[in-house]
Amino acid sequence: MKALGCHIILELSQCNSEVLRSLSKVKGHMVEAARRAKAQVRKVAFHKFSPQGISGVVVIAESHLSIHTWPEFGYAAVDIYTCGPTTDPQKACDYLAEALEAKQVARSVVERGIESPVGSYSHSIASSQDTLSSSLIPVGRVPERI
């Protein structure tokens, strides 16, 4: 089973609310996450809402990373989608969980673009949830692409 892309959906809970309120920190962490995944950053667009919350996207040659924060709940919703064999999206996940100081991480990995024998495409999904202590526990690895 060969997938064309890997889409990781992260639910980061009990994050540092001050970090989630800071446009410069969230933007910087997202760009750094893309770099750690060995992705090629093409465009960056972020918006801070009033009274709080940030939405943003880092467009990469291999697809995108996006985030929306709810500082009042200590929560961030993150999508990381990469195509091709040169990136490691799990490195972006691990970095963001640490940088946003998440204590709970729920992750779904969607392997996308799996071709069927009749030429249509589908996906497969695997999910997990981890509790992080004061020292970061790795949130697991993305399944190997075949």
| Contact by Cβ (8 Å): 10, 129 | no
63 is catalytic: yes
Candidates 15, 68, 108, 128; catalytic one: 68
Catalytic residue check, 47? no
Q: Which residue in 6, 17, 29, 63 is the catalytic one?
A: 63
**Residue 108 corresponds to which tokens in the numbers above?**
């779904």
List the catalytic residue out of 55, 64, 66, 83.
Answer: 83
Q: How is 9-69 classified by DSSP, letter by letter? A: EEEEES--HHHHH-HHHHHHHHHHHHHHTT--EEEEEEEE-SSS-EEEEEEETTEEEEEEE
68 is catalytic: yes
Query: What is the spatial distance between Cα 19 and Cα 3, in angstroms, rounded to a whole number?
Result: 34
Residues annotated as part of the active site: 63, 68, 83
